Every structure is written in structure tokens, then in C-alpha cells.
Structure 1
């Protein structure tokens, strides 16, 4: 099952205890932040 890849769920997953999903969430947020600064 594929998880949602939006920013809200990524931020929510950062507060969880599951290390794998926290790392994945951090990567999603990191990529989104980089893309946002690139678009300006």
C-alpha cells in the first residue's frame, strides 16, 4: 500500500515513533522545500 506523499501527512509522520516512516517523511519535506525555493 502506497502512503500519501503530501506535506501535511509527512509533518504528521515526523512526530511518530516509526523510524523508517520518519526518515521517509523527512525526505518528502526536504524535497518539497528544495522545490519551493527553486520555483521562486
Structure 2
């Protein structure tokens, strides 16, 4: 199984993808990141 990178850059790149599944997954990564940003402040 291919393990994909879960960083911001690749998530943002995947948002422009035509693949719905990877787009949703990328959106989740970005949301989690933003949520953690708010918590740490």
C-alpha cells in the first residue's frame, strides 16, 4: 500500500486534483492543521 505524504504542501496540491477521494483527504489534512493552529495559540 502506498503511504502518501501528509504535509501541507502536498495537501494543497491535492485539492486541485480531479480525484474526489484524495481531494476529501487533503481537505481533512488542512482542516486538522488549522484546528491545531488555533489550539496552540
Q: Give the TM-score category using the shorter length.
A: over 0.9
Q: Which runs of 5+ in 1 are unaligned?
A: none
Moved over 2 A (4+): none
Task: Give the TM-score normalised by structure 2.
Answer: 0.95
CA deviation after TM superposition for structure 1 residue 8, in Å: 0.4
Task: Give the TM-score normalised by structure 1.
Answer: 0.97
State how many pairs are aligned: 40
